[in-house]
Structure 1
Amino acid sequence: MEKTTEPSLDLIWGLEGIAQAIGRTVRQTHHMLSTGKIPAKQVGNRWVIERSKLIAFFMDSAA
Protein backbone atom coordinates (compact mmCIF):
# COMPACT_ATOMS: atom_id res chain seq x y z
CA MET A 1 0.00 0.00 0.00
CA GLU A 2 1.39 3.39 -1.03
CA LYS A 3 1.62 6.11 1.52
CA THR A 4 0.55 9.49 0.18
CA THR A 5 2.33 12.47 1.53
CA GLU A 6 0.29 15.60 1.87
CA PRO A 7 2.15 18.89 2.01
CA SER A 8 2.37 20.12 5.57
CA LEU A 9 1.33 23.64 6.32
CA ASP A 10 3.85 25.87 8.02
CA LEU A 11 1.50 28.10 9.97
CA ILE A 12 2.39 31.09 12.09
CA TRP A 13 -0.06 31.42 14.97
CA GLY A 14 -0.72 34.48 17.07
CA LEU A 15 0.03 38.14 16.94
CA GLU A 16 3.44 37.76 18.57
CA GLY A 17 4.56 35.07 16.13
CA ILE A 18 3.48 37.07 13.09
CA ALA A 19 5.09 40.23 14.49
CA GLN A 20 8.36 38.40 15.00
CA ALA A 21 8.23 36.90 11.50
CA ILE A 22 7.80 40.33 9.85
CA GLY A 23 10.06 42.28 12.20
CA ARG A 24 7.38 44.62 13.52
CA THR A 25 6.05 45.39 16.98
CA VAL A 26 2.93 43.62 18.20
CA ARG A 27 1.07 46.94 18.02
CA GLN A 28 2.13 47.61 14.42
CA THR A 29 1.26 44.04 13.46
CA HIS A 30 -2.16 44.24 15.10
CA HIS A 31 -2.93 47.38 13.11
CA MET A 32 -1.81 45.75 9.85
CA LEU A 33 -3.90 42.65 10.55
CA SER A 34 -7.03 44.47 11.66
CA THR A 35 -6.98 46.78 8.64
CA GLY A 36 -6.46 43.89 6.23
CA LYS A 37 -2.97 44.90 5.11
CA ILE A 38 -1.69 41.39 5.84
CA PRO A 39 -3.65 38.45 4.34
CA ALA A 40 -4.12 36.53 7.58
CA LYS A 41 -7.24 34.96 9.05
CA GLN A 42 -8.64 35.14 12.51
CA VAL A 43 -9.50 31.80 14.07
CA GLY A 44 -11.38 32.45 17.26
CA ASN A 45 -9.40 35.24 18.84
CA ARG A 46 -6.03 34.25 17.31
CA TRP A 47 -4.53 35.29 14.01
CA VAL A 48 -3.00 32.68 11.72
CA ILE A 49 -1.20 32.82 8.40
CA GLU A 50 0.70 30.33 6.28
CA ARG A 51 4.40 31.27 6.25
CA SER A 52 4.69 30.89 2.45
CA LYS A 53 1.72 33.24 1.90
CA LEU A 54 3.23 35.82 4.24
CA ILE A 55 6.54 35.68 2.38
CA ALA A 56 4.80 35.87 -1.01
CA PHE A 57 2.75 38.86 0.19
CA PHE A 58 5.85 40.83 1.19
CA MET A 59 7.77 39.77 -1.92
CA ASP A 60 4.85 41.03 -4.05
CA SER A 61 4.59 44.36 -2.27
CA ALA A 62 8.37 44.89 -2.52
CA ALA A 63 8.33 44.49 -6.32
Structure 2
Amino acid sequence: MSQLEDTGRASASLDLLWGLDEIGGVIRRNRRQTHYLLEKGQLPGAKKIGGRWCIPRTALHAVFGLGQEAA
Protein backbone atom coordinates (compact mmCIF):
# COMPACT_ATOMS: atom_id res chain seq x y z
CA MET A 1 0.00 0.00 0.00
CA SER A 2 1.40 3.39 -0.95
CA GLN A 3 1.75 6.33 1.38
CA LEU A 4 -0.84 8.21 -0.70
CA GLU A 5 -3.41 5.47 -0.10
CA ASP A 6 -2.65 5.53 3.63
CA THR A 7 -3.11 9.32 3.73
CA GLY A 8 -6.43 9.13 1.90
CA ARG A 9 -7.69 6.45 4.22
CA ALA A 10 -6.65 8.46 7.31
CA SER A 11 -8.30 11.62 5.98
CA ALA A 12 -11.54 9.74 5.32
CA SER A 13 -11.59 8.28 8.83
CA LEU A 14 -10.93 11.72 10.36
CA ASP A 15 -13.43 13.36 7.97
CA LEU A 16 -11.21 16.37 7.39
CA LEU A 17 -12.12 19.23 5.10
CA TRP A 18 -9.13 20.62 3.20
CA GLY A 19 -8.79 24.06 1.64
CA LEU A 20 -10.84 27.22 1.49
CA ASP A 21 -13.24 25.96 -1.16
CA GLU A 22 -14.18 22.78 0.68
CA ILE A 23 -14.49 24.48 4.07
CA GLY A 24 -16.37 27.43 2.60
CA GLY A 25 -18.75 25.09 0.79
CA VAL A 26 -19.84 23.51 4.05
CA ILE A 27 -20.39 26.82 5.85
CA ARG A 28 -21.73 28.49 2.67
CA ARG A 29 -19.17 31.28 2.52
CA ASN A 30 -16.96 32.42 -0.34
CA ARG A 31 -13.18 31.99 -0.35
CA ARG A 32 -12.49 35.48 0.99
CA GLN A 33 -14.96 35.18 3.87
CA THR A 34 -13.67 31.72 4.73
CA HIS A 35 -10.06 32.90 4.68
CA TYR A 36 -10.93 35.79 7.00
CA LEU A 37 -12.67 33.50 9.49
CA LEU A 38 -9.73 31.09 9.48
CA GLU A 39 -7.04 33.76 9.82
CA LYS A 40 -8.91 35.44 12.71
CA GLY A 41 -9.29 32.12 14.54
CA GLN A 42 -13.07 32.16 14.29
CA LEU A 43 -13.28 28.47 13.31
CA PRO A 44 -12.10 26.43 16.32
CA GLY A 45 -10.24 23.27 15.39
CA ALA A 46 -8.85 24.64 12.12
CA LYS A 47 -5.14 24.18 11.47
CA LYS A 48 -2.85 25.34 8.71
CA ILE A 49 -0.78 22.40 7.52
CA GLY A 50 1.74 22.84 4.75
CA GLY A 51 0.20 26.18 3.84
CA ARG A 52 -3.27 24.65 3.49
CA TRP A 53 -6.16 24.97 5.92
CA CYS A 54 -7.92 21.90 7.27
CA ILE A 55 -10.63 21.34 9.85
CA PRO A 56 -12.55 18.30 11.04
CA ARG A 57 -16.12 18.30 9.72
CA THR A 58 -17.33 17.65 13.29
CA ALA A 59 -15.72 20.92 14.45
CA LEU A 60 -17.76 22.88 11.90
CA HIS A 61 -20.90 21.02 12.90
CA ALA A 62 -20.28 21.97 16.54
CA VAL A 63 -19.63 25.65 15.76
CA PHE A 64 -22.54 26.12 13.33
CA GLY A 65 -24.95 23.59 14.77
CA LEU A 66 -25.10 21.70 11.50
CA GLY A 67 -26.74 18.31 11.35
CA GLN A 68 -25.21 15.37 9.48
CA GLU A 69 -27.68 15.99 6.63
CA ALA A 70 -25.72 19.16 5.73
CA ALA A 71 -22.61 17.08 4.94
Normalising to structure 1: TM-score of the pair?
Answer: 0.78
Q: How does 1:13-28 map to 2 (within 5 A)?
A: 13-28=18-33
The count of residues paired between Structure 1 and Structure 2 equals 52
The structure where helix makes up a greater share of residues is: 2
Q: Distance in 1 between matches of 2:58 and 2:41?
A: 18
Read off the aligned partner of 1:48 and give its amino acid letter: C
Runs of 4+ deviating beyond 3 Å: none
The answer to whether the aligner puts 1:11 opposite 2:19 as a matched pair is no
Unaligned runs of 5+ in 2: 1-12, 66-71
Q: Which residue of 1 aligns with 2:38?
A: 33
Partner SS, residue 60 of structure 2? helix
**Cα drift, residue 58 of structure 1:** 1.5
Q: Distance in 1 between matches of 2:50 and 2:14?
A: 19
In percent, how many aligned pairs have the same letter? 52
The answer to whether the aligner puts 1:57 opposite 2:68 as a matched pair is no
